[in-house]
Amino acid sequence: MLLVSPEQIAAVMALPLTPHSIAELDAQVRDGLPKSALKEGVEHATRSAEERRALLARIVPEATFKRRRDKLSPDESEKTERLARIVATARYVWDDEADTREFLNTAHPLLEGRTPVEVALTELGARRVEELLWKLFYGLPA
């Protein structure tokens, strides 16, 4: 279950065509998201230029990113959507851009001392971060 809508996820990536359902968002991911979607998502998830470069390189190696013309591959697009979903969810929970970035980039004890951004690089890790955010939002014990 998602805390956020496809429109909120798309807003993090600044997609030119806003999806209004998960199916529409999935179709855009399968077709390949624009390179700008990754840049936007990374921008929202990080606090500094150094963090931006490091995160971008973990999702798509720098040389590969430079070679891409307009679109990311489906795999890269999936990673980009995952990052945007985590950012949108954290933004929903914290309701503040600075607090969102701080949460995403601060080691958390329930994530084995890793940062939510780092954990969310895999789908299962992203689910763990979403579960943590749900618990924070609803005040449930971790």
* pLDDT per position as a tens digit, 88-116: 999 999 999 999 999 999 999 999 999 99
**Global pTM?**
0.94
pLDDT tens digits along 21-64: 999 999 999 999 999 999 999 999 999 999 999 999 999 999 99
Q: Give the pLDDT score at 142.
A: 64
Q: Residue 127: CA atoms inside 13 Å, Cβ hemisphere, count? A: 3
Rounded to whole angstroms, the Cα distance separating 12 from 37 reads: 8
In sequence order, what are the residues at sequence separation of 6 or more whose Cβ sits closer than 8 angstroms to the Cβ of residue 104? 45, 46, 86, 87, 90, 115, 116, 117
Tokens read off for 56: 């971008």
Rounded to whole angstroms, the Cα distance separating 31 from 132 reads: 30
Cβ–Cβ contacts within 10 Å for residue 72, how many?
24
**Angle, CA of 116, 118 and 123, to the nearest 5°:** 85
Q: Where are the domains of the chain?
A: 6-138
Q: Give the pLDDT score at 36.
A: 97
